[in-house]
Amino acid sequence: MDLWFYEHRAARSGRRRIAGVDEAGRGPLAGPVVAAAVVLPPAFHDPRITDSKKLSPAQRERLYGVIYQGALSVGIGIVDSGEIDRINILQASLQAMTMAVQNLAPRPDHLLIDGTFPTCLELPQEPIPKGDALSISIAAASIIAKVSRDRLMDIYHDYYPCFGFIRHKGYPTREHKDAIRTFGCSPIHRKTFRGVREHLPAPGEGDTC
């Protein structure tokens, strides 16, 4: 499999700054959705880079530094749980991706986006289903997004230790669901998500932990 296929095809069309874009955190019950956009130089090569879900946390941490060191540009976008509840997780993910691209300098001239939906940006862009396993730039973005989000959830663990965020990063594990049933909801829980909304405090009770 040639992970440079989409980048090379865009380059043959005259594109010079091709950004891979991906997000992490659509499925959790708590915390933000985080997107990353990465522009790699044509000479970049590291056979270890692949879809972040196929890597261990230690491997992702190592590659995070490799990507930042070798990339031409990296941008991050973060949308918090309150905004996710307000506009829904799909729109929040696209908003985070848009922010990540806008934080690139210089501006890219082509986007390769993981998934089936484009952003609202007026740039040539190509959504690629399962793109994190097909494009080197999207794979790199998936690693940056995942590590960035995991680090945020580790910080949130210090504020709300009873939920165990440092272990499950907000995903709906048995431990996490048991903690919600026991302690209720924290300020970073996604209150429109099933598994959370059933346990919202009654008016006047406030959040817990």
| Interval 146-183: pLDDT, tens | 999 999 999 999 999 999 999 999 999 999 999 999 99
Residue 9 covered by a domain: yes
- The CA distance from 147 to 122, in Å, is 28
Residue 33 covered by a domain: yes
Q: In this structure, are 119 and 34 located in the same domain? A: yes
Q: In this structure, are 16 and 38 located in the same domain? A: yes
The answer to whether residue 203 scores a pLDDT higher than 70 is: no
Q: In this structure, are 96 and 174 located in the same domain? A: no
Q: Residue 23's domain is classified under what CATH number?
A: 3.30.420.10
Residue 204 covered by a domain: no
The answer to whether residue 37 scores a pLDDT higher than 80 is: yes
Q: How far is CA 209 from CA 156, 182, 202, in A?
A: 12, 11, 16
Q: In this structure, are 183 and 88 located in the same domain? A: no
Q: In this structure, are 194 and 125 located in the same domain? A: no
Q: Domain range spanning residue 143?
A: 5-157
Q: In this structure, are 131 and 99 located in the same domain? A: yes
Question: If pLDDT is split at 50, 70 and 90, which confidence band does 69 have?
Answer: very high
Domain count, the chain: 2
Q: What is the pLDDT of residue 201?
A: 74
The answer to whether residue 207 scores a pLDDT higher than 60 is: no
Q: In this structure, are 19 and 104 located in the same domain? A: yes
Q: In this structure, are 105 and 122 located in the same domain? A: yes
Q: What is the pLDDT of residue 204?
A: 59
Question: If pLDDT is split at 50, 70 and 90, which confidence band does 206 have?
Answer: low
- The CA distance from 29 to 191, in Å, is 8
